[in-house]
Amino acid sequence: MSWDWVPPRPGEDEPTRRTDRRLRLALTVLMVVFTGVLAVYYLTVGLDQMRTQCVTERPAGVSSNQVSTSWRWWPPGYDCVYPEAGATSA
């Protein structure tokens, strides 16, 4: 909601209101950018760690090339997929 139609109160001058508006805009932009950076970091580093964890915590007798991951939407991340017992791959 715009409050531009409200006349300034006594003691409020117009340049101060402009400075406050610019500061608020700058902080909003910085917070949006910071949130975007955190999201990209989570998608690149956090999810890659989940894939690596699937390989490091594989069951005994399963080689690293037999481990695969499948994407799950909620909660966001990966599920580890291992071959069933007794199954061999060609």
- The pLDDT of residue 54: 92
Span 36-49, mean pLDDT? 91
Q: Which residues contact 43 (CB under 8 A, 6 or more apart)?
A: none
Q: How much is the pTM? A: 0.53
- The pLDDT of residue 7: 79
Rounded mean pLDDT of the chain? 85
Angle subtended at Cα 20 by Cα 16 and Cα 21, rounded to the nearest 5 degrees: 115
**What type of residue is 44?**
T
Q: Which of 87, 50, 88, 46 shows the shortest CA–CA distance to 68?
A: 50
